A and B are shown apart, each in its own frame.
Chain A
């Protein structure tokens, strides 16, 4: 039997003190970049919130996004997110399987029509329904059926948000993102390959606290996590500003922790929270570990040129910029990044998506 009591009731049942919950809300406020003093207000709102039903649909994915969210087996603050919601359907985490699992999903949809949340990870193949199906129902149909009564859709990971790796050239399965298929429901894109787990938790907490999705950027990503680029918050920024770059992976500059721009870092054109929230509980993030950003939270990052070619490398016939010229400043880099973005757009349009006709 599904049980949608309030979060306060559930926590009391589990013996979680209000102080412990206040600690959780402090962590959430920090995540959502809200003033720390708002933790108390968040706690009060969440305590009264009725746990929403969440149906998690997994399509062409590697399960990395689920792995990112569930990185522990012991009770943790992050696992409180699973107390905040009623996860009624999830291939990896649910106990049921087969027809029992599908029945659980349908019951959740019926009982919470108009109010349940749908979380999607993985891209959807439209080239041929045979490329992905659950129990004979294609992924496309599964998605369209399930979102009918959803209050909102959360597309977790770059695959669900933008197509991701299945969508990369030559896109053999005709993989598309959730927003390519669903046009009549609010969709929030939590991109990243995988996304930072705290971001997933933060979005759910925001939805529960305020009853609505957070403010989104033009790609549907929450501004509080994706509003700035890695470059904007990178601790190595002073080296970029001073023109101190590592030229190869083990040179003097690299060992001194200098900027990795010339080793292909995509930080300047990548929006994500890695530079502040970091990974593995705040341990580090790619640049801090000595490798440039791959740009994994941006659309089509797999096809945006080599991970090791600097953003400023001439990709057009720009006669005024000699190949191999040293990076001279932010202005040049930004102008050339814009040229790179134009190239990315043309590369996208040239993607050959498989259609049923091709088969």
Chain B
């Protein structure tokens, strides 16, 4: 039998699935999403809900993912770490998650809009890009 390895990578990892239990946070959140989606429907008013500050018991966050699901659009941004944006089963309800370079979540939100702000090209970046392109042409 070979001696036990001292290499951290060789130590097997055993994960136990969390037993999900709900403490009712999801229902309230869905009601808020519905209210904001109503505003978007009526007059185009956008909204954002920050998930970071909401208490979720283990399992509730995954439940929310399951309920909102994934729709037709997914986008990935690489800007000082990745950001993942998906449109949920409900058009106009987007889930935007920002990660830092190490994969830690730094912001997690539900955005109610026709398109999340972060996907749009920023005016300053457009201008800077134009200067670069003009320089390229000369």
Contact = CB atoms under 8 A, between A and B. Distances in A.
Q: Do the two chains bind?
A: yes
A97 to B, nearest CB: 29
Nearest to B122: A18
Nearest to B25: A235
A178 to B, nearest CB: 29
B114 to A, nearest CB: 15
Contacts of A277: 52
Interface in B93-122: 98, 100-109, 111, 117-118, 121-122
B111 to A, nearest CB: 8
Contacts, number: 106
Interface string B17-43: 000000100000000000000000000
A37 B112 CA distance: 11
B72 interface: no
Given A235-B23, A276-B53, A77 B77 contact: no
Nearest to B126: A18
A13 to B, nearest CB: 12
B58 A23 contact: no
A30 B52 contact: yes
B125 A17 contact: yes
A18 B104 contact: no
A46 to B, nearest CB: 13
B77 A235 contact: no
Given A23-B79, A238-B23, A40 B117 contact: yes
Contact of B105 (A20, A36, A235, A281): A281
Interface residues of A, number: 39
B57 A23 contact: no
Nearest to B56: A235
Contacts of B50: 29-30, 35-36
A33 interface: yes
Nearest to B22: A238
A22 interface: yes
B100 A16 contact: no
B49 interface: yes
B53 A72 contact: no
A22 B100 contact: no
Contact of A26 (B56, B103, B118, B123): B118
Contacts of A275: 55
Given A27-B106, A77-B98, A238-B57, 6 more contacts: A20-B80, A30-B109, A36-B50, A80-B80, A235-B23, A276-B52
Interface of B: 23, 46-50, 52-58, 77, 79-81, 83, 98, 100-109, 111, 117-118, 121-125, 128
